[in-house]
Amino acid sequence: MVNFFKNIDNKHYRPHHGSGLDILKFIGPGLLVTVGFIDPGNWASNLAAGADYGYALLWMVTLSTIMLILLQHNVAHLGIATGLCLSEAAAIHLKPRYSKSLLLSAMAASVSTSLAEILGGGIALNMLFDVPIKAATLLVTIFVLILLFTNSYRVIERWIIAFVSIIGLSFLYELSLVEIDWNSAATGWVTPAFPEGSMIVIMSVLGAVVMPHNLFLHSEVIQSRQWNLQNEKVIKKQLKYEFLDTFVSMLIGWAINSAMILLAAATFFKTQTPVSELQQANQLLSPLLGKNAAVVFAVALLFAGFSSTITSGMAAGSIFAGMYKEPYDIKDNHSRSGIIISLGLALIIVFLIPNPFMGLIYSQMILSIQLPFTIFLQVYLTSSEKVMGKFKNSMFTKYLLLSLGMIVTVLNIALFVSFFL
């Protein structure tokens, strides 16, 4: 089967000399990943963090973003060097009983992701047009399925870049209306703190930023930039520019996630106003900042819901196709089935849960629980000479990534302990 992503750009390749504009040809994959951690699940987690703990949990966004840069670059490294996505590589290089278990858990995480994305988009439609949430989530799901099944990757990429731009501009506007305690913010960004009762929110922030499905997605979409897998010089050039794309894109995501916490800290925490749902946050912004702020908030949430549901569906298609040792291809039944399974099950769960806001919070926590398995799978594959050849991880990179996996595991243990204290 022809890899849809892998062959998109081959026909456009021409030998050329490097220029300062080369980076522009590599922009895109990183921004698709960025969408995954400015999704509605992040909104719920970040608003809870800012409203309940002020600036104290900003450090978690910084730590998560650093982890994300390292992990996303490493998994993109896998896609560039091997021509395989993470799911394909697992199915090809692991024993079936291990690969199937890991990839099924990744599909479960994808469903959890899609739950947050669909629900967030539905909540935004409810805010803007008073559409009942369940009907709104159905509309979001239908819209995304139509877009995924009828448009090419390039068209979707342009849409998502536009969505990210709108979300970023929306939060710049929101922040212009509030007074930020920048000294407290600066301290919060670099000083770890664990306020009483904050562990669930901390874990939800981690799960909302470093997301398993994004690791699978990035290793797939990065192949839309591959021109010549056999040319070592081209591979090294791709790795260099891919890192810049990832780094800049992740910084954009860090800024937007931070802006959410800053906004909540400067409004809800400052006035000691608890926030228990996204609709409530929208309503509370009107008396604090004016009606326009509430509308801008809802519009940004709508675009976040649409764009992140698209990338969640793509990731699910990639994971499911990888189980059959196939690349993502929207014309293939396995890729289509993965998308339908993820979005369909997520929609069913949305119809069953009684509290949408807590559904968003706990969906992110589920992601953080699955995340160590994906990280250790990724490190195993990218450290293997059999898989990566001369592009395998150095010993330093290998143990650095393993350390990140251990940090996530320890935080998970702390989360479970917190339930019994």
Q: How many domains does the chain have?
A: 1
Whether 24 has a pLDDT exceeding 60, the answer reads no
- Beta-carbon contacts of 416 under 8 Å, excluding residues fewer than 6 positions away, are none
* CA–CA–CA angle 365, 115, 405 (5° rounding): 35
Biggest alpha carbon–alpha carbon distance for the chain: 63
Q: Tokens at residue 415, please?
A: 């989360």
pLDDT of res. 15: 39
Tell me how long the chain is. Answer: 421
pLDDT of res. 145: 95
| In contact, 379 and 393? CB cutoff 8 Å | yes
Whether 415 has a pLDDT exceeding 80, the answer reads no
| 300 located within any domain | yes
pLDDT of res. 4: 39
Give the span between the Cα atoms of 193 and 178, in whole angstroms.
Answer: 24
Over the stretch 56-103, which tens digit does the pLDDT of each residue have? Answer: 999 999 998 998 899 999 999 999 888 899 999 999 999 999 999 999
Residue type, 421: L
If phi > 0 it is left, if psi is from -120 to 50 it is alpha, else beta; for residue 54 that is left
| 3 located within any domain | no
Confidence of residue 23 (pLDDT cuts 50, 70, 90): low
Q: Tokens at residue 37, please?
A: 């951690």
Over the stretch 163-214, which tens digit does the pLDDT of each residue have? Answer: 888 999 999 999 999 999 999 999 999 999 999 888 878 877 776 677 889 9
Confidence of residue 14 (pLDDT cuts 50, 70, 90): very low
Over the stretch 211-229, which tens digit does the pLDDT of each residue have? Answer: 889 999 999 988 765 544 5
The residue among 71, 103, 74, 76 whose CA lies nearest residue 87 is 103
| 405 located within any domain | yes
Average pLDDT, the chain: 85
Any alpha helices (H) in 324-355, and if so which ranges?
333-352
| 99 located within any domain | yes
The fraction of the chain above a pLDDT of 70, given in percent, is 87
Over the stretch 367-413, which tens digit does the pLDDT of each residue have? Answer: 777 888 999 999 999 999 999 998 999 999 999 999 988 887 787 77
pTM attached to this predicted model: 0.86
Q: Tokens at residue 364, please?
A: 């992110």
| 69 located within any domain | yes
**CATH code of residue 31:** 1.20.1740.10
Over the stretch 351-363, which tens digit does the pLDDT of each residue have? Answer: 988 876 677 667 7
Whether 105 has a pLDDT exceeding 80, the answer reads yes
CB-side exposure of 84: number of CA atoms within 13 Å? 19
| 10 located within any domain | no
| Structural domain containing residue 372 | 21-418
The fraction of the chain above a pLDDT of 90, given in percent, is 53
| 287 located within any domain | yes
Neighbours of 402 (CB within 10 A): 16
| 11 located within any domain | no
Neighbours of 386 (CB within 10 A): 8
Mean pLDDT value of segment 284-305: 87
